[in-house]
Amino acid sequence: TSESTSTTEEDADETSETTSDAFTTGEVIKLACHGGEAADAPCKAVYYYGADGKRHAFPNEKVYFTWYDDFDDVVTISDDAMSDITLGKNVTYHPGSRMVKFVTVHTVYVVDADGSLRPVASEAAAIDLYGDDWNTHIDDISDAFYGNYTRSTDAVNGVEDFDPVAVYNAVDSIDDIL
């Protein structure tokens, strides 16, 4: 999936999807696909149904898989039910899961517990946070999603400033960062 499309359920058996209008806060929802739809069809988009009563799109699979292991618990809802739910802001990376950077910005960031981005001060700091293979823990984010995040000027110099595991474990729900 390209960075500019929503998360999809590529492997789902689309012809067997049944719709329901019974869904609750904290669930992941989508429209039914009937088979043969293009990858960018509206039925391929997956949303988090937040405590604010809004649906929040996952910009891509990379973001989705920082929150979930698979698509097993996605609830398929009717077109009418989906259209009744106001769109909210996009879901962002799970705090502590990855470092990120924007395509045209050289700064590498960590995602803090409140969902904000904090710049990583140096390569030494990145190594301290994520080990010698720190550069494999960075995802590029399309500049189109720059506005999804708030940025802090409080640089991270190492685990004394930011413990990825503790930050990850401190955030239980997408609602915690919306």
Taking residues 76-105, what's their average pLDDT? 96
- Locate the DSSP E strands across 5-137: 28-31, 47-49, 55-57, 75-77, 99-102, 109-111, 117-119
Q: What is the pTM of this model?
A: 0.86
Q: Phi and psi of 56, rounded to 5°? A: -120, 120
Residues in CB range of 2: below 8 A, 6 or more apart: 60
Distance CA 129, CA 131 (A): 6
Q: According to the model, what pLDDT value does residue 146 have?
A: 95
Distance CA 158, CA 121 (A): 8
Distance CA 107, CA 101 (A): 6
pLDDT at 51 over 70: yes
pLDDT at 5 over 70: no
Assigned token pair, 46: 């997956």
Cα dihedral sign, 66-81-8-100: negative
% of the chain surpassing 90 pLDDT:
84
pLDDT tens digits for 145-156? 999 999 999 999
How many residues are recorded in the chain?
178
Taking residues 41-65, what's their average pLDDT? 96
